Amino acid sequence: MSENTDRYESAVARYLEAWNAGEPDALAKAVAAAWSADGGYTDPLADVRGHEGIAAVISAAHEQFPGFSFRLAGRVDGHHDMARFGWELVDDADDSAPVAGFDVITLDDDGRIRTVHGFLDRVPT
């Protein structure tokens, strides 16, 4: 595996760790580890910058979907300072995934996320 592939996969692993952090202190630490200080997150439902805004979006997802976890769907693909990957929001009780999406991230020189551009492919009615 190339160094760049490791870089992209590590960034996505930290990203998913943040999305799966439930406790406020753990969430704050995971967001700080994954995103640059001025990092942003944009999807059809949110457009925020900074760690506090990102943590608020993640907390809102946990409130809307208690008992669910995010997991990688497929492989991480990247070049230059960008990576793309699919994800699913999975019910921990029955392993169903009612929500799925696709994200594109850009990384800073330290491998932390500068921007996320998220797309929702499957959402519950």
In whole angstroms, give the CA distance from residue 104 to residue 22. 23
For residue 4, pLDDT over 80 is answered with: no
Mean pLDDT computed over 18-47: 97
Give residue-wise pLDDT tens across range 67-122: 999 999 999 999 999 999 999 999 999 999 999 999 999 999 999 999 999 999 99
- Strands (E) in 1-125, as ranges, are 40-43, 46-49, 68-79, 82-91, 99-107, 113-122
Helix or strand holding residue 64 (H, E): helix 51-64
* Model confidence band, residue 29 (pLDDT cutoffs 50, 70, 90): very high
Percent of the chain with pLDDT over 90: 94
Phi, psi of 45, deg, nearest 5: -110, -10
Mean pLDDT computed over 47-61: 98
* Average pLDDT over the chain, rounded to an integer: 96
At 1 the pLDDT is: 43
In whole angstroms, give the CA distance from residue 70 to residue 68. 7
Mean pLDDT computed over 21-37: 97
